[in-house]
A and B are shown apart, each in its own frame.
Chain A
């Protein structure tokens, strides 16, 4: 596998189960959050985002929850499939205008067992 998976928290689930991946962010002023999926040998791929004025957002099979009180973000994947196996990481965005910056978490390796 790719070296990006080394030293990462891991989550192993059975196909069909629901997965919950957690992320703690650092900056209470961050106003936008994104979850990315990175498959082996590929660049990160956008999954879902959420603004800081929301606490929940749903997509297709995915839900993101935001708890600003404890600076915690989670990604829920329903009916996990083998194709969901990847590294998932969150990113927080802060800064105004076009001079914003994204700070990325270290990621969680999700393995889906058939």
Chain B
């Protein structure tokens, strides 16, 4: 298994440009999520999905859209990039906790480093 993959690894955008950060997993995980990581802030949840066709907002969703048309893919879209969105973005996936088993480890991708000028 490749695990969680993210593309691109690095990206530079100008203010106002749009782009999509790709995330894919091959572990048949139901739960997928996007985080951003900023210095001194830790990881903050942007959006998450508990299965294909279902998405919900996390802690910092403004300026980002997501969709989940398949179990494997969970792209993150920046509609109009702003300098405040300069960050490292991580995608993560895990088995659903539907069974009530709380040991639901999240597996993280390698990250996308985004700079908005």
| Interface residues in chain A, defined as those with a beta carbon under 8 Å from any beta carbon in chain B | 3-4, 6-8, 31-32, 34, 41-46, 49, 51, 89, 91, 93, 96-102, 104-107
Contacts and interface: CB of A to CB of B under 8 A. Distances in A.
Contacts, number: 70
Given A4-B37, A45-B108, A49-B105, A101 B43 contact: no
Given A4-B88, A93-B102, A98-B96, A43 B108 contact: yes
Contacts of A107: 42
B88 to A, nearest CB: 7
A7 B102 contact: no
Interface string B49-79: 0110000101000000000000000000000
Interface of B: 4, 30-31, 35, 37, 39-45, 48, 50-51, 56, 58, 88, 90, 92, 96-98, 100, 102-111
Contact of A6 (B39, B43, B100): B39
Nearest to B107: A46
Contacts of A98: 30-31, 50-51, 96-98
B105 A46 contact: yes
